[in-house]
Amino acid sequence: MEHTALVDVYDRLSSTSSNNEKRDVVAEAFAESDAHLWRLVVLVRGRLFPAHDRRELGVSSRLTLEAVLTATGAPEDEVRERWRQTGDLGDAAAWAVENGGQQTLFSETLTVGRVHDGLRELADFEGDGSQGRRVDALAGLVSVATPDEARYVVRTALGHMRVGVGEGTIRDAIAVAFLDGGDDAVSAVERAYQVTNDFAVVAETARDGGRDALAELDVELFRPIQSMLAEKAESLAEGLADAAADGRVRYEYKYDGIRIQVHVGGDDVRLFTRRLEDVTAQFPDVVRAMERGVTAENAIFDGELVGYTPETIAGDDRTPVVFQELSRRVKRESDVEATSREIPVVVHLFDCLYDGETLLDDPAAERYERLVAAFDSVEPEFDDGVAGLELATTATVSPDDPDPAAALYEEALERGHEGLMLKNPDATYQPGRRVGRLLKLKPTMEPLDVVVVRAKYSEGRRSELLGRLYLACYDAQSDELREVGRLSTGYTDDELRALTDRLESLATTRDGRLVEVDPEVVLEVEYEEIQSSTEYDSGYALRFPRFLGVREDLGPADADTLERVDSLFDAQ
Ligand SMILES: Nc1ncnc2c1ncn2[C@@H]1O[C@H](COP(=O)(O)OP(=O)(O)OP(=O)(O)O)[C@@H](O)[C@H]1O
């Protein structure tokens, strides 16, 4: 398949805002893609890796500009001027190819395979001279591209495609291209995606084996599953009523840490975050704790990783550390053993998703029994750099007799945890879904996780710092970010300095003191209320937002959704 055909797909996607039309364009491309299907499922979204693969190309806009100049011979100031005018280096690249004066190598054709494989390769360059090799490789692609092809190659390299294709569109397009496109087909594709997290696997399976083959796709060890998410309970009584099955509800601490999925296969233990990132290397203590405790040969567990102060970790009354402290461990790449002693952790496991066979369709109560059966004993030990391992204490109550749950809620808060989880004992595990059968009860107006999309230098004392951050939520329908307000308080100078450095490294375009950034940084913010507003493209504005912390464990697509902001607005 030639890249020109894909360019046509991008053009058609950019020219419509209708989700159904986008779905049909993508479905058509999938149906015609032959051997390129696995590449197209990521490329149509302007990506190169599936969601669970966090590899990055390591391509900055500066480096891309250099590649465009090398490939085309166009004058730098003119290319920069085009870039400034349009805010899109892709457009500037198209102009450079057209007007650069360098002969395009018409003898070669840019194929989808070459673009995909060539760009993916950039992620593998390491060490000395890797930047130069990236420039050369990218320049190689641009030098055989038509102007339109260059536009999309550059946008893909920078991760700036923005053709408004979300995961829902890919799912629906697979259902249309290879099944009958009806609601059942969409559900079958969705389910297959939730357990595999890989649209390439799902699309090829649907194409080659239809609905039956999709249904056979299952959980696999070391391929992380999307986490089941909770809905918010407005009160204990309401939560108990909503989560009840046959008059019973399970209740547990809502531990305050990082969601962790633990895969055990023979001697191998791997840990994944909610973003499906592999963090095994950062938590050797947790790996050792699992090795000591687990008796099941093969298993996947779901749990919460909580950091506690070193002084209290070994006692009965542990004090959790704040989330920012714990996230230092996630980011840490060297001295992990020393850091593990500074911020010791306990893994509180609360679910078992696999123990040789998939348990996703089993009721929660049964899964908990399997969890217990997978361990001999779980004695926390903290000497010798071994983390603690505990199974979440769980109990059941009737909604008519809520006192024991109310007491545990109080206790959880007193001990520095977040609140209570209420679980329907009959609920199956629904990966990636917020379903009313898993509820969380927390005392405050819930903070939002939002993405920084633009930032402005402050006036006065903090004039060297990007103190005004424009925040956006995620519109899952269109795969776009929509602004919901501007943040300027809650951070210390040190926190803001760190944020400024990080955002500067993500800068794409500038207009005076305003900097547009790659949407990578997710912040947790609290706020007084949500107002409707015409100032931001979400239609909402957060009133008095305040910085609570950086959510290192979340990426832009994990930010709170526009749908959620809608419902919080309605609930006020
Ligand atoms: N016993 C428990 N059972 C299930 N989840 C728990 C438990 N204790 C803590 N958690 C955490 O609570 C989260 C449930 O809330 P939700 O799915 O809404 O996550 P979230 O968006 O990160 O919200 P929050 O900021 O409230 O944690 C889980 O992702 C998990 O990390």
Contacting residues for 163 by C-beta, under 8 A, at least 6 apart: 10, 13, 14, 22, 44, 45, 46
Q: Are residues 299 and 436 in the same domain?
A: yes
Q: Which of 134, 158, 182 is the last residue of a domain?
A: 158
Q: Which atom of ligand 1 is nearest to the CA of 447?
A: 25
275 and 421 assigned to the same domain: yes
Report pLDDT digits (tens) over 419-473: 999 999 999 998 887 776 899 998 766 799 999 999 999 887 788 999 999 999 9
pLDDT of 108 reads 64
The Cα–Cα gap between 103 and 516 comes to 34
Give the end-to-end CA distance of the chain in Å, rounded to a whole number: 52
216: number of Cβ within 10 Å: 10
Confidence band (pLDDT; 50, 70, 90) for 383? low
Query: Any idea what DSSP says for residue 362?
Result: S
Alpha-carbon gap, residue 203 to 214, rounded angstroms? 9
In a domain, 179, yes or no: no
- Tokens for 568? 């919080």
Question: What are the tens digits of pLDDT across the range 506-546?
Answer: 998 888 899 999 999 999 998 878 999 999 999 999 988 88
User: Any binding-site annotation on 259?
Assistant: yes
The strand pair at 529-532 and 522-526 is best described as unpaired
Helix pair 183-196, 167-178: axis angle to 10 deg: 120
Residues 483 and 555 in one domain: yes
Among residues of the chain, what percentage have pLDDT more than 70?
96
Q: Is 200 within the bounds of a domain?
A: no
Residue 350 CA, ligand 1 centroid: distance in Å: 11
The two three-digit tokens of residue 299, written as one number = 């298993």
What pLDDT does residue 133 have? Answer: 93
Look at residues 106, 131, 158 and tell me which one is the last residue of a structural domain: 158
Q: How confident is the model at residue 385 (pLDDT cuts 50, 70, 90)?
A: low
Separation between Cα atoms, residue 303 and residue 262, nearest integer Å: 8
Give the pLDDT mean for 338-360: 93
- The C-alpha angle with vertex 341 and arms to 340 and 347, in degrees rounded to 5, equals 55
DSSP assignment of 274-329: TT--B-GGG-HHHHHHHHHHB--SEEEEEEEEEEB-TTTTTSSS--BPPHHHHHHH
Same domain, 436 and 499: no
For 111-153, give the DSSP string: BHHHHHHHHHHHTT--STTHHHHHHHHHHHHHHT--HHHHHHH
Which H helix or E strand runs over 65? Answer: helix 61-72
172 Cβ below 6 A of ligand 1: no
pLDDT tens digits for 248-294? 999 999 998 999 999 999 999 999 998 888 999 999 999 999 998 89
Residue 490 has pLDDT above 70, yes or no: yes
Q: At what angle do helices 147-158 and 61-72 cross, to 10 degrees?
A: 160
**Cβ of 529: how many Cβ atoms within 10 Å?**
12
Question: Does any domain span residue 106?
Answer: yes
> What token pair was written down for 88?
């899109």
What is the residue whose two structure tokens read 């997290």? 197
Q: What confidence tier does 501 reach under pLDDT thresholds 50, 70, 90?
A: very high
Question: Is 70 exceeded by the pLDDT of residue 158?
Answer: yes
Rg of the chain over CA atoms, in angstroms?
Answer: 25
Residue 101 domain-assigned (yes or no): yes
DSSP state, residue 550:
E
- Please give the mean pLDDT across all residues of the chain: 90
State whether 400 and 540 are in the same domain.
Answer: no
379 is in an annotated binding site: no
Q: Is 456 a known ligand-binding residue?
A: no
Residue nearest to atom 25 of ligand 1 (CA): 447
341 marked ligand binding residue = no
Residue nearest atom 15 in ligand 1 by C-alpha distance: 230
**Half-sphere exposure for 367 (CA within 13 Å, toward CB):** 29
Q: What is the residue-wise DSSP string for 471-528?
A: EEEEETTTTEEEEEEEE--S--HHHHHHHHHHHHHTEEEEETTEEEE-S--EEEEE-S
Output the six-digit token pair for 108: 């070669």
Q: What is the CATH number of the domain that holds 270?
A: 3.30.470.30
Q: Is the same domain home to 115 and 241?
A: no
Distance CA 262, CA 277 (A): 12
Tokens of residue 505, six digits: 């490294």
**Chosen domain end from 441, 464, 481:** 441
Would you say residue 29 lies in a domain? no
Asked whether the beta carbons of 472 and 484 are under 8 A apart, the reply is yes
Do residues 374 and 312 share a domain?
Answer: yes
Average the pLDDT over 487-516 and give the result.
Answer: 90
Same domain? For 545 and 418 the reply is no
Please indicate, yes or no, whether residues 239 and 338 belong to a single structural domain of this protein.
yes
Instruction: Specify the ligand 1 atom closest to the Cα of 232.
Output: 18
Take atom 23 of ligand 1 and give the residue whose Cα is closest: 230
Determine, yes or no, domain membership for 117: yes
* Sequence-ordered list of residues with C-beta below 8 angstroms from that of 515, at least 6 positions apart, any chain: 454, 455, 456, 457, 466, 503, 504, 507, 509
Local confidence band at 13 (pLDDT 50, 70, 90 cut-offs): very high
128 pLDDT above the threshold of 90? no
pLDDT value at 369 more than 70: yes
501 and 437 housed in the same domain? no
Going by CA atoms, what residue is nearest to atom 6 of ligand 1? 254
What's the number of domains the chain is made of? 3
Residues facing residue 485 across a β-bridge:
471
Q: Is 346 in the pocket of ligand 1 (CB under 6 A)?
A: no
Interatomic CA distance for residues 61 and 66, integer angstroms? 9
Tell whether 461 is in a known binding site. Answer: no
Ligand 1 atom at minimum distance from 394 CA: 1
Q: According to the annotation, is 30 in a ligand binding site?
A: no
Q: How far is the CA of 228 from the centre of ligand 1 (A)?
A: 9
Q: Is the dihedral of CA 304, 309, 313, 317 positive or negative?
A: negative
* Cβ of residue 285 lying under 6 Å from some atom of ligand 1: no
Q: Is pLDDT larger for residue 397 or for residue 54?
A: 397
The catalytic residue positions are 254
Residue 197's pLDDT band (cuts 50, 70, 90):
confident
- How far does residue 213's CA lie from ligand 1's centre (Å)? 33
CA of 507 to the centre of ligand 1 (A): 32
Ligand 1 site, residue 229, Cβ cutoff 6 A = yes
- Which ipTM was obtained for this model? 0.95
Amino acid 434 reads R
Would 198 be classed as within a structural domain?
A: no
**Residue 85 in this model has a pLDDT that exceeds 90:** no
Is residue 386 predicted with pLDDT exceeding 70? no
Atom of ligand 1 nearest to the CA of 434: 17
Q: Residue 305, exposed/middle/buried by CB under 10 A (0-12, 13-18, 19+)?
A: buried
Confidence of residue 296 (pLDDT cuts 50, 70, 90): very high
Q: Kindly tell me the sign of the dihedral angle through the C-alpha atoms of 292, 295, 297, 301.
A: negative
Residue 93 has pLDDT above 80, yes or no: yes
For the chain, give the percent of residues with pLDDT over 90. 64
Supply the residue whose CA is at minimum distance from atom 12 of ligand 1: 254
User: Which atom in ligand 1 lies closest to the alpha carbon of residue 274?
Assistant: 29
Q: What angle do CA 176, 24, 35 make, to 5 degrees?
A: 70
Nearest to 438 by CA among 425, 419, 428, 423: 423
**How far apart, in whole angstroms, are the C-alpha atoms of residue 508 and residue 61?**
7
Pairwise CA distance, residues 45 & 26, whole Å: 10
**Does residue 433 line the site of ligand 1, with CB under 6 A?**
no
pLDDT exceeds 60 at position 105: no
Cα(230) to ligand 1 centroid in Å equals 7
CB atoms inside a 10 Å sphere around CB 126: 9
The answer to whether 473 touches 561, Cβ cutoff 8 Å, is: yes
For residue 550 the two structure tokens come to 């950086």
Ligand 1: does its nearest atom lie under 6 Å from the Cβ of 371? no
Higher pLDDT, 384 or 16: 16
d(CA 154, CA 150): 6
286 and 426 assigned to the same domain: yes
Ligand 1 atom 21: residue of nearest CA: 229
Look up the CATH number of the domain holding residue 487.
2.40.50.140
Same domain, 266 and 390: yes
The average pLDDT across 211-232 equals 92
Asked if 471 contacts 485 with a C-beta cutoff of 8 angstroms, the reply is: yes
pLDDT at 114 over 80: yes
Per the structure block, which two tokens stand in for 552?
A: 């290192």
Residue 263: closest CA among 313, 222, 219: 222
Contact 453, 466 (CB under 8 A): no
Range of the domain at 517: 448-571
Residue 222 lies in a domain: no
